[in-house]
Amino acid sequence: MFRSLEKSQKQAAFPKPTRSRARESFLGLALLLTLTVLLPLGSAVGQEALYPTDDAYIIHGSPDHNTCTEPELQIRNDYGVGGSSGWAADVLIKFDLSQFANQTICSAKLKLFYCRWNSNNPKNRVLKLFRNMADWEECNVTWNNHPDTAAQPTSSCAVPVVTETWMEWDVTTDVQAMLQGSIPNYGWHLLDDNYWGTVNIPQIYFKSKEYSDITYSPRLEISGIPCGDVNCNCVVDIGDVVYLINYLFKGGPQPCSCSENPPIASSNSKQSLNKNMKASSIGFGQPRRMKDYSFEIPLIGNFNMEAAGMQFEVSYNPNEVTLLDPALTSRTEGMQIFSVAQDGIQRIGLVDLNGQNSVSAGEGPLIMLRGKGTNLSSITIKEATLVDRDAIKIPVEIVEAMKDGEEGLDADGSIIPKNFVLSQNLPNPFNPETQINYDLPSACRVKLCIYNLLGQRARTLVDEYQSAGYKTINWDGKDDRGNQLASGVYFYRIQAGDFMDAKKMIMMK
């Protein structure tokens, strides 16, 4: 809630700008990318599913048996009663990655369809996936001749409670290294090495590539670089805008050079330095109510290095709050601000499209969030991204309220004013309706009445105990009996606890 200030496909074609192009084209491209960052991205990442060239399971108790034609793959633990061996069944699987050679990927997941179990439910047993260290073929591999595996598992996955569902293992690091040629592609070895030690060893079954319905076939799902990800870190965000500006105006690396700068290799010394730094703090300050009864909330940042680009995602309840365009502060002067609000999410980006200005280290307001509404409890910083001049992410933490102000929030998330106030009605003169606003810094009995020039009470608008907050009441120009009153001068008077005030208004027909 508001109080807790929160915080296969090939590389998509992207025009590679040349420095001979007009400056306006550069700015236009950067602006286009900036807006792309702020708009919902949908399924921008290219994804392709590969099916295995080889899959089989091997059996310790039948060491020369081959299973390449069977429609299911089986896994069992090696230990039965008394810890005796001979029970194990392991799975081997391999894919052809040649179509992705020398390309960069963002993720790779091995997925197997868990169809049934036998003897005992294997729920929550962890299956470990190891990389094979030598080649093999599915119709020749047996327990006696299967290749050795890497010493450490690539990934692991716990068996679900229920069957008829997919299990997956993250193999991104392995696949990226295979595509770069730093390790050979011999596929993986899946096993259950958890001690059982009693009868009825759990048996786990997956559909194999020989199963008649390819819908349930094993697969390797590979996701490529998203369109617009010019710095190749697998995320389209403000860092891509800064990266592009750095290239256009400061001789930085060429955009979309993902084969030379793959995501897996992005942890250079500067990246590591940023990760080891104390995290920057991002949070809301206290809200302020403006004269027009809109509100402002400062978004405050505290960081110890320059930030060249910022991106924030603020969630809110559109039924309670309307968010307007945010505003820069003196600290972010010289930056450009972009924002879009849609479906209860406001995305905000800050960057200097000329590449000259950045936000200096220190603490202070970065932007003023602006809007209309009285209940602010739904406003939350959902995400915050900061990057330095090299488009490297700065660690950031979304924190509690960073500064006290004149106003605060009550338990319901409504802004609490500092003083009792009765405001001038709007509009004034009016015909025939007007709005009266008043401020209550504490809960009290409130009576608000309309009087004519003779001092006769014409209408009682409020007569009740009310909570603290900013209040609004409309008057339709009628008396207590529902009769429309004549044009002229009227007075409205409030008594709220010990506070009393009155103001004049004119109804003009």
- 446's CB contacts (< 8 A; 6+ apart) are 438, 440, 462, 463, 464, 465, 466, 471, 494, 495, 496
Phi–psi pair at 365, nearest 5 degrees: -65, 135
AA identity, residue 220:
L
In a shared domain, residues 73 and 206:
yes
pLDDT of residue 2: 35
- Indicate whether 343 belongs to any domain: yes
Is the pTM value of this prediction over 0.85? no
In a shared domain, residues 330 and 452:
no
pLDDT, one tens digit per residue, over 410-452 is 545 556 778 899 999 989 999 989 999 898 989 999 999 999 9
pLDDT, one tens digit per residue, over 349-386 is 999 988 889 999 999 999 999 998 877 888 999 999 99
Total number of domains constituting the chain: 3
Tokens of 25: 């084209």
In a shared domain, residues 424 and 405:
no
pLDDT (mean) for 34-60:
71
pLDDT of residue 394: 92
Q: Read off the CATH number of the domain in which 317 is found.
A: 2.60.40.680
Task: Give the span between the Cα atoms of 190 and 139, in whole angstroms.
Answer: 17
Residue 45 has pLDDT above 50, yes or no: no
In a shared domain, residues 153 and 299:
no
pLDDT of residue 24: 47
In a shared domain, residues 91 and 214:
yes
pLDDT, one tens digit per residue, over 291-308 is 677 888 999 999 989 999
pLDDT (mean) for 156-185:
95
Residue 259 has pLDDT above 70, yes or no: no
Residue 133 has pLDDT above 70, yes or no: yes
- Indicate whether 268 belongs to any domain: no
pLDDT, one tens digit per residue, over 325-352 is 999 999 999 999 999 999 999 999 999 9
Of 415, 449, 474, the position where a domain reaches its end is 415
Query: Percent of the chain at pLDDT above 90?
Result: 58
Span of 8-17, 25-34, 193-202, 376-385 with lowest mean pLDDT: 8-17
- Indicate whether 20 belongs to any domain: no
Where in the sequence is the domain holding 444, given as residue range(s)? Answer: 417-507
Nearest one of 144, 143, 165, 137 to 76, comparing CA atoms = 143
Phi–psi pair at 241, nearest 5 degrees: -65, -45
For residues 92 and 202, is the Cβ–Cβ distance under 8 A?
no
pLDDT of residue 32: 54
In a shared domain, residues 365 and 453:
no
Residue 319 has pLDDT above 60, yes or no: yes
- 421's CB contacts (< 8 A; 6+ apart) are 438, 439
Task: Report which of residues 103 and 153 the model is more confident about.
Answer: 153
Task: Report which of residues 265 and 195 the model is more confident about.
Answer: 195
pLDDT, one tens digit per residue, over 391-405 is 889 999 998 765 544
In a shared domain, residues 392 and 501:
no
For residues 298 and 287, is the Cβ–Cβ distance under 8 A?
no
In a shared domain, residues 192 and 288:
no
Task: Give the span between the Cα atoms of 281 and 383, in whole angstroms.
Answer: 12
Q: How confident is the model at residue 253 (pLDDT cuts 50, 70, 90)?
A: confident
- Going by the DSSP 8-state scheme, the letter that residue 176 receives in this structure is H
DSSP output for 181-197: TSS----EEEE------
In a shared domain, residues 401 and 475:
no
Task: Give the span between the Cα atoms of 248 and 243, in whole angstroms.
Answer: 9
pLDDT of residue 406: 47
pLDDT of residue 272: 45
In a shared domain, residues 164 and 98:
yes
pLDDT of residue 261: 54
Of 224, 248, 270, the position where a domain reaches its end is 224
Our separate counts of H helices and E strands in the chain read 4, 32
Q: How confident is the model at residue 260 (pLDDT cuts 50, 70, 90)?
A: low
In a shared domain, residues 500 and 453:
yes
Of 375, 397, 415, the position where a domain reaches its end is 415
pLDDT of residue 85: 63
pLDDT of residue 28: 56
Q: Read off the CATH number of the domain in which 435 is found.
A: 2.60.40.1930
In a shared domain, residues 160 and 188:
yes
